[in-house]
Amino acid sequence: MDTKNFRKKALLQKDWHWEIAIYLFLGGVGAGAYVTGAISSFLGWTDMARWGVLVSFPALAIGLLFLVAHLGNPLRTYLAASKAGTSWISRGVIFFSVFMLVAIIHIIGTLWVELSGTIVLALSVIGIIFALGTMVYTGALLSASKGIPFWRSGIMPILFMFSALATGLAATVVFVYFFGSTPFLAGIAPVVALIAAALILGEAVVVLFFLHAAYRLPESRDSAVTATKKGSFIVGDVLLGLLVPLALMLYVGFGNAGGNTGTLMVIAGILVIIGGLLLRYMVLSVGMITTMYASGFEFKLQNKPEPKSPIGLVPPGNV
Amino acid sequence: MFPTSIYNAITIMDPKWFDMLEQFKIPYRPEIMINFGSNSVMTMGNAEVVTENFLKKFNFIFSFQLYITEFEDAVADIILPDTCYLERFTPAVSFPSTFSHPQGEDDWGWTVRQPVVQPLYERRDFNVVMLDICKRLGIAHKYYKGLNDTVPMRYGGPMSDKYKLKEDGSVDHTWEDICDRLLKDRFGDEHGLDYIKEKGVFTWPRKKEDVYWKWFNPVRVPVYFEYFIDGGEKISKLMKSYGVGEGHPLDLDWTRFKALADWYPCPSHIEEKNPPEFDMYTFYWRSVIHCNSLTQQNPLLDEMSHEDPYVYAIQMHKDTAKEKGIAEGDWVWIENTAGHRVKGWVALTDGIEPYHLAIAAVAGHWTDYQPIAKGKGTFFNDLVEMDKDHTDPLTLNQDICCRVKIYPV
Amino acid sequence: MPGVGTKTPRLGMVIDLKRCYGCYACVTACKTENFTPPGVFWARVLKGETGEYPNTVRQALPVLCFQCEDPSCMTVCPTGATYQEDDGVVRVDRNKCIGCNYCKMACPYGARYMVEKWESYFPDGLPLSEYEEYAKNRWEEKSGVGVSTKCDFCFERRENGMEPACVRACPANARIFGDLDDPDSEPSILIRDNGGYVLNPEHGNKPKVYYLPTR
């Protein structure tokens, strides 16, 4: 075990873990997929439109389940919208609820009940607004946390918005590939791939910018350094989640992938989705508790800083 | 009664200490040891030496203890569950001779620990149990005499006849009665246990003579300890009469019995006795939250020990650590010249001399009966050698300065 | 006694770092008064070190909830469970808290604690003693499981005219408790005369626990 940074490890926040990461991730996927679907419907990309909207609601619902499961008192969740004036959770609950409502009506309209074009248009516009609100909320939630300097960044909402759009588009593409009509994205595959590439590139730039900004601030430097040393982040998110799919999407967009177009885009899509989840997880897991300063001393709120013993108990001599 | 003080290292250092009793023609042999809430396996010195050379020589050991320690685990035959301090009367919490009392012009005070709850489980106060045992053995009057004799030693002056325990066995003293008599004797008829039970603390005004005592006491501080010379001659003569002369393994260095204070380096400070790789000194420091070896099993104190960056760690200067290739949090062995070694993890600091290692508290417990304390901290005392080399002949005090080498686990 | 009088006081505390020697008596007193389970430190002592050998100085820093005037925990609380009393003490309404831990993330001074499951201080498998039962019941009755908890300057003790337990326990008189609105109160005088300051003012929370410099 790496004992060198045991004191830094003792500073990591341990209360928001993978449930929240999944929630933030699925919230982003749902919102991104809805935006993809709604915009696709304007462009007349029927498959994309259909699956974008269909993916959104289940993603949000499952995400919400993870959130509620993490609460200490799930039965009181209904109280969470009480303070929208100050609390980003309350705002998020409102965004999330309205957005989920719009999404479910849109899904009903897509699958079972014929809705008029005006209603669908109105739904889409409201849905897109609240979807964007949801994306921003997942980031703003973290950036309002004064106790965790790494999260207290104005870039956080932008980062999560890019990631949400990229993962949402990726999720839509994957679903279209497996369940949509053949041929896969007839005629529009290169355009979709280029949009995806642009989003991924945007996300990559924001990730870089975010980490650099965190590194430049002394109080969040340790978190940024820890992040860049995390294998799951560097390999899982940066390499497999951003660079490889970016290359694949660019290849599909500019090159001539021919018969491999679908396969390559699905692989890229799945990688983007996994990368998005790992990004949320990284951001949560490297959050370190803030430091206090008094009379020239530095004080840290550590939680049981003690390295694990490489050998067992050794009683002395013959006792 | 054969009280063994922890400083009596000389009785422990020789495996054949019963032979020593023979040498000095002591007609009896200690057979039974009664232990009160102490863990001498860990608190004296190297655990193996203490256990093998000393504790295991007793035929029978019984021990009053709040929870089972390494002592009970290793050598006790019977363990009698003792009470917690909140479950019994302790008439003297702070002995004037041992503890310093608050300075300043506030009142003097005397507190008595009182039971605030009934003892849990089957725990009984060791004072009550000892009285009980003595009464059943029919030696209660001797026990009372022992207490009467102890009071002048511990509490400053003998008790008055009015409150002395009756040594003829005519009165059956209970522990509360004994506490009551002691308090009344020291603080007056009206300030007995009943007063304390009601008020909790006994206070009386402090006079200016008590505060600025130096001004009112024209004392002279002795510069020459000429009585050491006389004392040394007497002891030497006495030992010779028992056949312990020059060259005998028990013979002492008589040149140290002299009138002027002098410094004699202990083995840790004599370069020839220490190979060059033993380049570190280690010492023990007392953390404010731990008292000897018993408090590591207290879960509140254990939790707070984790809060302090150094209580469970071995403190080491950061430059020395770098030189030796040791990083913060590394597990290391510390080994003394006799080959005894202990392990622990290193905390780097600037607040220590280079080439010194600081270890807190009597930690590093290993018995399964102390699940909270087990395996935490470093067992410093295991590095303390108990032999004649490490014993001061003048006071028979133990040398607790250790020369060690440090290497990663 | 603070808390008694015609005008509502603005309760605060001064911690004199010159006097504190890091004995953890406040932590113990807090734990025994409030029966906080393992890992919960409403009162806490941190240790710091500065300077190069041989001019190294170590310092203890007792911390607790600073009962900020502008508490970020209250800002982010989505249900209004976190609220401020008239005397400025920030408290949690356990019947409204959903246990989202957002307050913990938002507190720049690490004063928030939530226990998901009550745990004994002693290892598993042992039956609880009657005192542990009592501690468990008190905790569940007063603070609770699955809700955020924090220091409330010993609300119950203050109601009974007593100082907070940590103040009472401090052997060095390093903690002074009182009304910050009263210019003649001991804490006000100390803050004014001895350069009292708050920790990390950049967070903008306006803490009501002040520190006096180490020397």
Tell me how far apart the alpha carbons of residues C206 and C194 are, in angstroms, rounded to a whole number: 19
Domain assignment present for B300: yes
Q: What is the mean pLDDT of chain B?
A: 86
To the nearest whole angstrom, how far is the Cα of B280 from the nearest Cα of chain C?
17
Q: Is the pLDDT confidence value at B312 over 70? A: yes
Taking CA C39 as the corner, what is the angle to CA C37 and CA C42, rounded to the nearest 5 degrees? 80
Of the two residues C49 and B263, the one the predictor is more confident about is: C49
Domain assignment present for A147: yes
Residue C31 contacts B where some CB pair is shorter than 8 Å: yes
Burial of A169 (0-12, 13-18, 19+ CB in 10 A): buried
Q: Do B317 and C28 touch (CB under 8 A)?
A: no
Among all chains, which residue has been given the structure tokens 């401020």?
C84
Domain assignment present for B2: no
Contact yes or no for A235/A227 (Cβ under 8 A): no
Domain assignment present for B217: no
Instruction: For residues B25 and B159, state if they share a domain.
Output: yes
Q: Is the pLDDT confidence value at B20 over 70? A: yes
Q: Is the pLDDT confidence value at C5 over 60? A: no
Which whole number is the average pLDDT over C153-160? 93
Tell me how far apart the alpha carbons of residues C91 and C72 are, in angstroms, rounded to a whole number: 13
Name which of B309, B329, B331 is nearest A4 (Cβ-Cβ). B329
Listed in sequence order, the residues at least 6 apart from B345 whose beta carbon sits closer than 8 Å to its beta carbon are A3, A306, A307, A309, B312, B313, B314, B329, B330, B331, B332
Contacts of C78 in chain A (CB under 8 A): 79-83, 87, 89-90, 93
Domain assignment present for B212: no
Contact yes or no for C20/C174 (Cβ under 8 A): yes
Instruction: For residues B20 and B166, state if they share a domain.
Output: yes
Domain assignment present for A8: no
Contact yes or no for B44/B381 (Cβ under 8 A): yes
Q: In chain B, how many domains are there?
A: 3
Tell me how far apart the alpha carbons of residues A312 and B400 are, in angstroms, rounded to a whole number: 27
CATH classification of the domain holding C197: 3.30.70.20
Tell me how far apart the alpha carbons of residues C81 and B139 are, in angstroms, rounded to a whole number: 67
Domain assignment present for C4: no
**DSSP one-letter string for B220-263:** ------HHHHHHHHHHHHHHHHTT--TT-TT---GGG-SSS---
Give, as one character, the DSSP assignment of residue A311: S
Query: What is the pLDDT tens value at each position of chain A, 319 positions in all?
Result: 344 578 888 888 988 989 999 999 999 999 999 999 999 988 888 888 899 999 999 999 999 999 888 888 888 888 888 888 899 999 999 998 999 999 999 999 888 888 788 888 898 999 999 999 999 999 999 999 999 999 999 999 999 999 999 999 999 999 999 988 777 777 788 899 999 999 999 999 999 999 999 999 988 998 999 999 888 889 988 999 999 999 999 998 887 777 788 889 999 999 999 999 999 999 999 999 989 999 889 998 887 777 777 777 666 655 5
> Measured between alpha carbons, how far apart are the two ends of chain A, in Å?
30
Q: Could you tell me the pLDDT band of residue C4, with boundaries at 50, 70 and 90?
A: low
Q: What is the mean pLDDT of chain C?
A: 91
Instruction: For residues B181 and B305, state if they share a domain.
Output: no
Structural domain containing residue B272: 267-408
pLDDT digit string (tens) for A186-200? 778 889 999 999 999
Q: Could you tell me the pLDDT band of residue B6, with boundaries at 50, 70 and 90?
A: very low
Cα C193 to Cα A145, B75, C173, C183, C186: the distances in Å are 34, 61, 17, 11, 11
Domain assignment present for C110: yes
pLDDT digit string (tens) for B347-368? 999 999 999 999 998 899 999 8
Q: In chain C, how many domains are there?
A: 1
Listed in sequence order, the residues at least 6 apart from B30 whose beta carbon sits closer than 8 Å to its beta carbon are B2, B58
Give me the pLDDT at residue B56, please: 87
Domain assignment present for B343: yes
Q: In chain A, how many domains are there?
A: 1
Cα A297 to Cα A6, A12, A278, C17: the distances in Å are 20, 21, 36, 11
Instruction: For residues B237 and B199, state if they share a domain.
Output: no
- Percentage of chain B exceeding pLDDT 70: 93
Contact yes or no for A52/A195 (Cβ under 8 A): no
Q: Do C79 and A15 touch (CB under 8 A)?
A: no
Instruction: For residues B111 and B186, state if they share a domain.
Output: yes
Domain assignment present for B4: no
Give me the pLDDT at residue B5, please: 42
Tokens found for residue C98:
């959903």
Q: Could you tell me the pLDDT band of residue B102, with boundaries at 50, 70 and 90?
A: low
Instruction: For residues B286 and B374, state if they share a domain.
Output: yes
To the nearest whole angstrom, how far is the Cα of B69 from the nearest Cα of chain C?
16
Domain assignment present for C201: yes
Instruction: For residues B168 and B311, state if they share a domain.
Output: no
Name which of C39, C52, C130 is nearest B350 (Cβ-Cβ). C52
Instruction: For residues B299 and B366, state if they share a domain.
Output: yes
Tokens found for residue B365:
């417990």
Domain assignment present for C133: yes
Domain assignment present for C6: no
To the nearest whole angstrom, how far is the Cα of B307 from the nearest Cα of chain A?
6
Structural domain containing residue C72: 11-212
CATH classification of the domain holding B107: 3.40.50.740
Question: 3-state class of C3 per DSSP?
Answer: coil
pLDDT digit string (tens) for C42-67? 999 999 999 999 999 999 999 999 99
Give, as one character, the DSSP assignment of residue C40: -
Beta bridge partners of A294: A297
CATH classification of the domain holding A215: 1.20.1630.10
Alpha carbon A206 to its chain's center: 13
Instruction: For residues B196 and B320, state if they share a domain.
Output: no
Contact yes or no for B394/B257 (Cβ under 8 A): yes
Domain assignment present for A125: yes
Q: Which of A4, A2, A1, A15 is nearest to A288 (CA)?
A: A15
Instruction: For residues B176 and B142, state if they share a domain.
Output: yes
Instruction: For residues B245 and B145, state if they share a domain.
Output: no
Contacts of B352 in chain C (CB under 8 A): 53
Give me the pLDDT at residue B24, please: 85
Q: Could you tell me the pLDDT band of residue B8, with boundaries at 50, 70 and 90?
A: low
Instruction: For residues B29 and B137, state if they share a domain.
Output: yes
Tokens found for residue A297:
């001393």
pLDDT digit string (tens) for C69-85? 999 999 999 999 999 99
Give me the pLDDT at residue A27, please: 94
Structural domain containing residue A174: 16-291
Radius of gyration over every alpha carbon of chain B, rounded to an integer in angstroms = 24
Domain assignment present for C51: yes
